[in-house]
Amino acid sequence: MGLPKLLLCSFFFLFSILAAGNAGVHASSPHHDRRHHHHKKQRYGFRPTKLFVFGDSYADTGNIQKSVGSSWKEPYGITFPGKPAGRFSDGRVLTDYVAKFYGMKSPVAYRWIKYAGNRLRYGVNFAYGGTGVFDTLVLEPNMTTQIDFFEKLLKDLVYNKTDLDSSLFLVTVAGNDYGAYNAKGGTAQGLPAFTASLISQLAVNLKRLHGLGARRIAVAALEPLGCLPRSTVLSSFQQCNVTQNTAVNFHNLLLNQAVSKLNNESRDSAYHVLDLYTTFTTLLENKGDVSGTLKFETPLKPWCMGLSTAYSCGSVDDKGRKMYTVCNDAKSAFFWDGVHPTQAGWHAVSMALKPSLQQIC
């Protein structure tokens, strides 16, 4: 079963390259040529028509309750859609850019599914900010419960097998599991065992999605937690925490092993890892994207932060005064708050992830 799909994908790629090559030959002006070149970059082995998303705030587009999420407070959403709308950024997040890459609208947040109508044809976003594989510090649906929601839609015949065959499943999860582990007094010694149990449960979840009909599953590796502003604030945003990043590397190692094992067992190579770790670190080290289009001068410094450690981006005191500061230009910052990238940051990340997305077939 895996072999024909592989052949089909290779064939499609070959065809794309030939077609793009021809276009180049016929191009008459450099300007014209550049447009074709741009067009070529948009080609893919597989083009999903739907996106189903699971996980946390890196993917949430409005599921988290207003009473719980800072994403519903000013200045979140200031760039897009222009007011707080549940995204943990000034604007678009990973989900939006992955959808855009495939030429579809961002899938509706599960909380608005009743009003989705035609929008359901782009899939559904089940991701909730603050959540994890296990229960975390927020009382929002964990990944297992998010998959329960998805399963319910299948039972209700909202989507059929054909729909799932042409869908991409995107998963960003685990950062909050580590936050909860630390907050609950987890020790450094206990961390490897915790990581193992986390990956084991994540593999169960991914396999369950596959069993429900998912044929292409892209799971994000964990970003360098030690480079998030909440960690680098201790060095005035100069240095990433190496201890934390070492733990993340171990997590990603086990994740890659688990994904290889799942692919070996399933024989249809449905599982893919999106390497957020290398993507983040490369952008932070380069102070921008490789092409030089997007620049982040002080890459570890967030655009928005609390006036002291007691406050965070979006905090107000009991008199309604803003207890946070913001910088001038959100486009020049990679990080938005202590944990999340800006829209410009996500834009840069998604550009860097394009080759990985193109490999999914």
Ligand X SMILES: *[C@@H]1O[C@H](CO)[C@@H](O)[C@H](O)[C@H]1NC(C)=O
Q: What amino acid positions are annotated as catalytic residues?
A: 57, 337, 340
Task: Measure Cα distances from 69 to 42, 87, 89, 160, 331 in Å.
Answer: 35, 9, 12, 33, 23
Number of residues that bind ligand X (CB under 6 A): 16
Does position 145 bind ligand X by CB under 6 A?
Answer: yes
The nearer residue to ligand X, 227 or 274, going by C-beta atoms, is 227
Tell me whether residue 222 is exposed, middle or buried, using C-beta atoms within 10 angstroms of its C-beta: 0 to 12, 13 to 18, 19 or more: buried
Binding test (CB under 6 A) with ligand X, winner from 16, 201, 281, 282: 201
Does position 134 bind ligand X by CB under 6 A?
Answer: yes
Does position 160 bind ligand X by CB under 6 A?
Answer: yes
Neighbours of 239 (CB within 10 A): 13
The nearer residue to ligand X, 92 or 301, going by C-beta atoms, is 301
Helix (H, G, I), strand (E, B) or coil at 125: strand
Q: Which stretch binds ligand X (CB under 6 A): 97-105, 169-177, 260-268, 344-352?
A: 260-268
The nearer residue to ligand X, 74 or 135, going by C-beta atoms, is 135
Paired tokens of 25: 């030959």
Does position 244 bind ligand X by CB under 6 A?
Answer: yes
The nearer residue to ligand X, 125 or 266, going by C-beta atoms, is 266
Long-range CB contacts (within 8 A, 24+) of 230-237: 230/338, 230/339, 232/300, 233/305, 233/309, 233/338, 237/298, 237/300, 237/301, 237/302
Q: Which helix (H) or strand (E) holds 357?
A: helix 343-359
Does position 266 bind ligand X by CB under 6 A?
Answer: no
Q: Could you tell me the smallest distance in angstroms from the CB atom of residue 15 to ligand X?
A: 26
Q: Could you tell me the smallest distance in angstroms from the CB atom of residue 159 to ligand X?
A: 7
Does position 249 bind ligand X by CB under 6 A?
Answer: no
Does position 162 bind ligand X by CB under 6 A?
Answer: yes
Task: Measure Cα distances from 11 to 4, 18, 172, 209, 239 in Å.
Answer: 10, 11, 30, 28, 46
| Binding stretches for ligand X (CB under 6 A) | 134-135, 142, 144-145, 160, 162-163, 201, 234, 241, 243-244, 260-261, 264
